[in-house]
A and B are shown apart, each in its own frame.
Chain A
């Protein structure tokens, strides 16, 4: 038996390892190589040109701004929604199902749906016009209205991607035995204290997963931004797309891709460290 089992596990994971190597690891190495090469030599030329680009600092600023606004809002919203959903007696599954519908919609489709609402001839303007609040078609998504464009993107992102945080947090909440909260209640903790002193600390592992997932995806934000604002609101992933497709410069596109990856990895490392649960504190 021991002799036979020694190679079987490796054989069993070999297909997925091969799959990952061919379709994930190879392109990753190629991308990194591409970003660091000029001709056949190692060079930082791509990064120099990326950093020197007119849109670069704006894209960095926008991406971080969007992440810093959207992710905390999503966590707060999801926490509130999850707390309410877990308190429902009847119709809980239906409510949860409705709340998670946006998850089934591709981000480009979500962006286009919000475009239909918010563009010059969109539903929002029609409604405002009918109420006599505006004179005629008003632009909300143009370069001249950066704040309303930003607000629109935040709104669309909240609508589109809060549900994934919600699902993770509900799963986490269900793992916490209700006796902890009951004990706290008996010993004098008010609802808010129970939430901050008992529920939140015990929910930390779930919060960590949700934050990692959402933050990494937020740094990659692209389709919703592209649908609503085009290049009026440059973001990192959008710049990578422009360099790849419009400018046909794969090296600079690769540099953007590597930069996004580095930021995501750094954010993940921060979450893993800051929201770590020590083994002795696990239930």
Chain B
């Protein structure tokens, strides 16, 4: 049992507030990704959970125990670092065994657990090598094996895949998911890569400016962003935001009419590029195409709606040309309405 409760954690560096009252609960065995652009405070939060930084105020509770003032080694967790931090002067075996050795485990137990972790990460064949002789991907595996060998209640990962090339990253991502699912470890995973977060996590906490903007399952975050930032950060292409006039519950763009929440505020229509489809007869929301990019699986159309920039995803065989005006139909259930002033989503009518 190791759930993690992050309770109103604040971190200040001098006058700079890196974290502003962040609260988050991670359930036992859950995989939560902290996702956000660089400088959003995600790594700071992870280091506070690990005990490598001290929070200015707030509490960290792991498995019911308040660990806020404990040193890292007493928190019962393991961590994978961005640059792996695999010890260069030890063999792969000794690296993986490090945590067990610190726990003064018997040699037979060390051997058994190291071999199991090594088998899980497919590094059995180079246990007697030194890390300098390994590739980046292999070192990454050693770092993960070192963390899993101690069978931690909590696993923290700080951008563990960001130093790998794209193909290897994809491969490791899939493998990591399988391995961690099997281990059932409560995991907090820091990344700036939304595909990693979407692919791996049970829930994603999107962070921005030292705050958690939204927390939810990958689908929730994607389909119903809580703020303009989340909509714009998640998804490729990012969500389009079109300023519209909403009067008496209806927003009109061209000859299209969409039901909108009647709040009387300035608002923006948040529209995902793939949630719009080309209407057969040119009716609907008018979209002026400027650039057509064939991406293989789809066409990426860049242009404008009502003079405002927008990106739309179309089927790969669609017959469209730059300079053309097409009509878009939109499912009202799949759009997001954003309050222009606060940047927050407005509840659907």
CB distance from B157 to the nearest CB of A (A): 12
A283 (CB) vs chain B CBs: closest residue: B88
Q: Known: A279-B132, A280-B132, A280-B133. Contact between A188 and B73, CB under 8 A?
A: yes
- Please give the residue numbers on chain A whose beta carbons come within 8 Å of chain B beta carbons, in ascending order: 177, 179-180, 182-190, 193, 198, 201-202, 204, 277-283
* B103 contacts the other chain (CB 8 A): yes
What residues of chain B lie closer than 8 Å to A282, measured between beta carbons? Answer: 88, 132
Using an 8 Å CB-CB cutoff, how does the interface string of B278-308 with A read, 1 for contact, 0 for none?
A: 0000000000000000000000000000000
* B83 contacts the other chain (CB 8 A): yes
Using an 8 Å CB-CB cutoff, how does the interface string of B60-83 with A read, 1 for contact, 0 for none?
A: 000000000001110001110101
* B99 contacts the other chain (CB 8 A): yes
* B150 contacts the other chain (CB 8 A): yes
Whether A182 contacts B52 by the Cβ 8 Å rule is yes
Interface residues on B, range: 20 to 34
Using an 8 Å CB-CB cutoff, how does the interface string of B75-118 with A read, 1 for contact, 0 for none?
A: 00111010101011100000000110011000000000000000
Whether B102 contacts A188 by the Cβ 8 Å rule is yes
What residues of chain B lie closer than 8 Å to A193, measured between beta carbons? Answer: 102
Total residue contacts A-B, CB cutoff 8 A: 65
Q: Known: A179-B81, A190-B73. Contact between A185 and B52, CB under 8 A?
A: yes
Residues of B contacting A: mostly: mixed
What residues of chain B lie closer than 8 Å to A277, measured between beta carbons? Answer: 89
Whether A179 contacts B85 by the Cβ 8 Å rule is yes
14 contacts between A and B (CB under 8 A): A179-B81, A180-B87, A182-B72, A182-B85, A186-B50, A186-B77, A186-B78, A187-B98, A187-B150, A188-B73, A188-B150, A202-B89, A278-B130, A281-B132
Known: A186-B73, A280-B129. 10 other contacts (CB 8 A): A179-B83, A182-B72, A183-B79, A183-B87, A184-B87, A186-B78, A187-B102, A281-B130, A282-B88, A283-B88
* B228 contacts the other chain (CB 8 A): no
B73 (CB) vs chain A CBs: closest residue: A188
Interface centre among A177, A179, A279 (most CB of B within 10 A): A179
Q: How far apart sit A278 and B9, CA to CA, in the bound complex (Å)?
A: 45
* B42 contacts the other chain (CB 8 A): no
Q: Which of A180, A187, A278 contacts B78 (CB 8 A)?
A: A187
- Please give the residue numbers on chain B whose beta carbons come within 8 Å of chain A beta carbons, in ascending order: 50, 52, 71-73, 77-79, 81, 83, 85, 87-89, 98-99, 102-103, 129-130, 132-133, 146, 150
Whether B85 contacts A183 by the Cβ 8 Å rule is yes
Whether B81 contacts A185 by the Cβ 8 Å rule is no
Q: How far apart sit A283 and B102, CA to CA, in the bound complex (Å)?
A: 22
What residues of chain A lie closer than 8 Å to B83, measured between beta carbons? Answer: 177, 179
Q: Known: A183-B81, A185-B73, A188-B103. Contact between A280 and B130, CB under 8 A?
A: yes
Q: How far apart sit A282 and B85, CA to CA, in the bound complex (Å)?
A: 13
What residues of chain A lie closer than 8 Å to B103, measured between beta carbons? Answer: 188
B81 (CB) vs chain A CBs: closest residue: A179
Whether B99 contacts A187 by the Cβ 8 Å rule is yes
CB distance from A184 to the nearest CB of B (A): 7
What residues of chain B lie closer than 8 Å to A280, measured between beta carbons? Answer: 129-130, 132-133
Q: Which of B52, B73, B88, B146 contacts A281 (CB 8 A)?
A: B88
CB distance from A47 to the nearest CB of B (A): 43
Q: Known: A180-B85, A201-B89. Contact between A185 and B132, CB under 8 A?
A: no
Q: How far apart sit A186 and B78, CA to CA, in the bound complex (Å)?
A: 6
Q: How far apart sit A185 and B132, CA to CA, in the bound complex (Å)?
A: 22
What residues of chain B lie closer than 8 Å to A186, measured between beta carbons? Answer: 50, 52, 72-73, 77-79
**A-B CB proximity, top 8 nearest:** A188-B102, A179-B85, A187-B99, A183-B85, A280-B130, A283-B88, A188-B73, A201-B89
